[in-house]
Amino acid sequence: MSVKPSVGQPVSRLEGRQKVTGTAKYAAEYNVPGLLYGYVVSSTIPKGKILNIDISGAKALEGVVEVLTHQNRPKLAWFDLQYADMDAPPGTVFKPLHDDEIKFNGQPIALVVATDFETARYAATLIKVDYQQEGFETCINNSLHKARDAKKGLATVLKPPPPKPEGDFKKAYEAAPFKVDTEYRHSPEHHNPIELFATTTVFEGEGKLTIYDKTQGTINNQVFIANVFGLQYKNVRVLAPFVGGAFGSGLRPQYQLFLSVMAALHLKRNVRVTLDRQQMFSLGHRPQNIQRLKFAANESGQLTAMQHSAFVETSSYEDYTEVISSWSHRLYPSKNTLFEYKVVPLDLSTPIDMRAPGGSTAMHAIECTMDQLAYKLNVDPLELRLRNYAEIDPSTKKPFTSKALRECYQQAAERFGWNKRNPQPASMPRGNKLVGYGMATGVWDAYQFPSRVEAMITAEGKLVVNNAVTDIGTGTFTVMTQIAADEFGLSIEDVTFNYGDSKKPFSMFQGGSSMTSSTGVAIVIAAKALKEKMLKKAKGIKGSPLAAASEKEVVFANGRISLRSDPSVFISFEAIVAANKGQAIKTTNMGKPHALKLRKYSKMTHSASFVEVEVDKELKIITVTRAVTAVAAGKIINPKTARSQISGSMIWGISKALHEESIVDETLGKYVNPNLGEYHIPTHADVNQLEVIFADEKDELINELGVKGVGEIGLVAMPAAIANAVFHATGKRITKLPIHFDELLE
């Protein structure tokens, strides 16, 4: 009996049982001996100085071991360095407990360490702080005069500034018969994964630490901690085997990690620091922004001029950027373009990537503007997209490695029943509701990062694969196991994938929808090398039946190497390892993008979302009743986990369009809804019928696996599709997200 290939099968998450039964341990669940508990004291002003911080009351409390502030913290070389992390934007990284300066409300200003969490938390309330408050600004509207270009830095590689203007935008726009001049706005959104940010630092002896951390990147945080605290890389081990959601919030080392390590080294004890839900609102967010767009078309509906200018919040100390104003020209051809991106510094913490950062923000504005243009032209919105369909990437004039967007449009439109749409707004009643249909396009980068994989066949003839990558809930563990199993013709039960550990070979943080291409490809490369090594060993065995066999003449399957022409001639993996004196046979290899070859191509994923909303005629309450998203992302390794990625991000699209919003009180300079009672996310009642289609997209150029990544693309088209559906239902164009039902009331 031959083992069936696993790739393409809807394999359930291998760690699912551990997660639902509670045996999967998260960063705050490692109960190491003599554990101390840290609680963070947060600033209550947005900007100014700490004049005095009185810790005596807290220190006197029984059970309190230490209180660290900027006045008594240990000296660190790092406080004089500029070093940050792999995801740090240009600027000066925020250093907790560095000095008396306050840069944002909720900034950590002290750490109480006690023998139990409740004592630490109570002691924190006994700390008295005198501030000298300074003038501040937390509203993007009031700060637009400060808009400027972002500083350039390492992050610019992944987030390049928009392309230079082409043609003569002004002239073309003025001359065009059809045009739309619009402005879109977004409120900030905060990361609210179920798992709170937490770090358990185990003090293993002088200069040696084992750290259980909530992070998307074990090696990123290992390097960060080693550099900051002047430790040897090999003595810092960061583990994150299970991560309860992250979506970008764990791309950078967060301050609880720093504080936990600082306290552990200072006290030579094991220390855990857990943030509470309110403190999660100081860790980074999707930035508030204003986007101005001017699109013009000729009589046949072809775009002749496009302008997209983005004004996006950053902090006073770092220049966080996203890719926003570059997307329309990666999707639609236009001879005359003008794209701008300006940062607007505010006295809030630095924004951070949040699922499809920039893409979801931009495509809401772009695809709503396209909807407006469709109405101006009196053309069906889908038809307008098809009239502007780019066969090559208009922004680079390069061909795509593959692009099945047309198939996405067709399949999703058909499944949805788009042809039943009456284009007239407010023309489709259903009882006391108005029904609206909206559609939008999604586009996202297909990234691949270098990744290193160790692969070995053990004495038992099983496959072990090691890589430092995390699985933040995406299905990475399962998908990597499937890829590895198929390379050797083994069943997934015979494969162990070890991950989430900085001691394993290099992986970037899990981000940018790039893990299947990065670590997946590295597995393929390592497997190839290991198979060569195995065959060589097999051929060297005395009297080997494979002595004369070439690579092409053998197959690896069912725990054996056998002759393709005669499977009864074989050597088992166990026999090969036995002949190697019982020592596992292993290789370590690097997978990396074919940068040179791919320079001639544009690499992107695409999607199309079609949404039906119902809007209550009197109350104007909006319900997304059904949605279909079709995705073109190359080969799908696991249709079950991939579908979960898309439907999960479709729900986020509903959330972004209708629910999520951090409200800044401009007079206090703080978020006033930092809790899950007032920061709204969708519940089951908000999520109805969601359908996911994967368009058949063969990509032989992109990488060895033909995969592009599905972590973010499902979110990109949804907000615009929903906003367009709300317009179709009501005739009212709401240009700010999230859309509040009361904005629809007359």
Chain positions contacting ligand MOS, by CB under 6 A? 216, 247-248, 251, 353-355, 357, 511-512
Residue nearest to ligand MOS (CB): 248
- Which tokens belong to 393? 């990437």
For the CB of residue 247, give the shortest distance to ligand MOS in the complex, in Å.
5
For the CB of residue 89, give the shortest distance to ligand MOS in the complex, in Å.
14
In the complex with ligand MOS, the residue whose CB is nearer, 106 or 512, is 512
Q: How far apart are CA 121 and CA 38, in angstroms?
A: 8
Phi, psi (degrees; rounded to nearest 5) at 728: -65, -35
For the CB of residue 432, give the shortest distance to ligand MOS in the complex, in Å.
40
In the complex with ligand MOS, the residue whose CB is nearer, 353 or 699, is 353
Contacts 24+ apart (CB under 8 A), 16-25: 18/242, 19/242, 24/241, 24/242, 25/212, 25/241, 25/242
Neighbours of 278 (CB within 10 A): 12
- Which tokens belong to 159? 């987030």
In the complex with ligand MOS, the residue whose CB is nearer, 313 or 454, is 313
For the CB of residue 248, give the shortest distance to ligand MOS in the complex, in Å.
3
In the complex with ligand MOS, the residue whose CB is nearer, 46 or 357, is 357
In the complex with ligand MOS, the residue whose CB is nearer, 285 or 452, is 285
For the CB of residue 381, give the shortest distance to ligand MOS in the complex, in Å.
28
Contacts 24+ apart (CB under 8 A), 569-572: 569/545, 570/545, 570/546, 571/538, 571/541, 571/544, 571/545, 571/546, 572/461
Phi, psi (degrees; rounded to nearest 5) at 381: -55, -40
**Sign of torsion over alpha carbons 451, 457, 463, 468:** negative
In the complex with ligand MOS, the residue whose CB is nearer, 248 or 669, is 248
User: Tokens 């699922």 map to which residue?
Assistant: 355
In the complex with ligand MOS, the residue whose CB is nearer, 319 or 353, is 353
In the complex with ligand MOS, the residue whose CB is nearer, 178 or 247, is 247
For the CB of residue 505, give the shortest distance to ligand MOS in the complex, in Å.
21
Is residue 521 within 8 Å of 594, Cβ to Cβ? no
Nearest to 247 by CA among 474, 13, 476, 515: 474
Nearest to 203 by CA among 228, 241, 235, 233: 235
In the complex with ligand MOS, the residue whose CB is nearer, 216 or 605, is 216
Nearest to 338 by CA among 187, 170, 468, 189: 170
In the complex with ligand MOS, the residue whose CB is nearer, 231 or 323, is 323
For the CB of residue 198, give the shortest distance to ligand MOS in the complex, in Å.
18
Give residue 207's identity as a one-letter amino acid code.
G
For the CB of residue 447, give the shortest distance to ligand MOS in the complex, in Å.
9
Nearest to 429 by CA among 674, 703, 615, 684: 615
For the CB of residue 4, give the shortest distance to ligand MOS in the complex, in Å.
33
Nearest to 314 by CA among 333, 339, 340, 289: 289
Q: Which residues contact 706 (CB under 8 A, 6 or more apart)?
A: 634, 635, 698, 699, 700
Q: Are strands 36-42 and 271-274 parallel, antiparallel or unpaired?
A: parallel
Q: How far apart are CA 569 and CA 423, in angstroms?
A: 67
For the CB of residue 108, give the shortest distance to ligand MOS in the complex, in Å.
23
In the complex with ligand MOS, the residue whose CB is nearer, 85 or 353, is 353
In the complex with ligand MOS, the residue whose CB is nearer, 195 or 347, is 195
Q: Which residues contact 134 (CB under 8 A, 6 or more apart)?
A: 47, 48, 49
For the CB of residue 228, give the shortest distance to ligand MOS in the complex, in Å.
22
In the complex with ligand MOS, the residue whose CB is nearer, 243 or 346, is 243
In the complex with ligand MOS, the residue whose CB is nearer, 81 or 154, is 154
In the complex with ligand MOS, the residue whose CB is nearer, 251 or 435, is 251
Report CA-CA distances (Å) from 234 to 400, 503, 578: 42, 8, 32
With H, G, I as helix, E, B as strand and everything else as coil, classify residue 578: helix
In the complex with ligand MOS, the residue whose CB is nearer, 409 or 447, is 447
Radius of gyration of the chain (CA): 27
- Which tokens belong to 75? 């000296």
For the CB of residue 144, give the shortest distance to ligand MOS in the complex, in Å.
26
In the complex with ligand MOS, the residue whose CB is nearer, 357 or 591, is 357
For the CB of residue 176, give the shortest distance to ligand MOS in the complex, in Å.
36
For the CB of residue 603, give the shortest distance to ligand MOS in the complex, in Å.
16
Q: Are strands 495-498 and 463-466 parallel, antiparallel or unpaired?
A: parallel
Q: Are strands 664-665 and 622-632 parallel, antiparallel or unpaired?
A: unpaired
For the CB of residue 88, give the shortest distance to ligand MOS in the complex, in Å.
15
Residue 738: DSSP 8-state: S
In the complex with ligand MOS, the residue whose CB is nearer, 393 or 445, is 445
Residue 88: DSSP 8-state: P
Neighbours of 311 (CB within 10 A): 23
For the CB of residue 217, give the shortest distance to ligand MOS in the complex, in Å.
10
For the CB of residue 319, give the shortest distance to ligand MOS in the complex, in Å.
18
Q: How far apart are CA 407 and CA 697, in angstroms?
A: 9
Burial of 244 (0-12, 13-18, 19+ CB in 10 A): middle
Q: How far apart are CA 527 and CA 235, in angstroms?
A: 29
With H, G, I as helix, E, B as strand and everything else as coil, classify residue 576: helix
Q: Are strands 622-632 and 689-694 parallel, antiparallel or unpaired?
A: parallel
For the CB of residue 616, give the shortest distance to ligand MOS in the complex, in Å.
34
H-helix segments, 665-741: 713-716, 718-730
Q: How far apart are CA 694 and CA 631, in angstroms?
A: 5
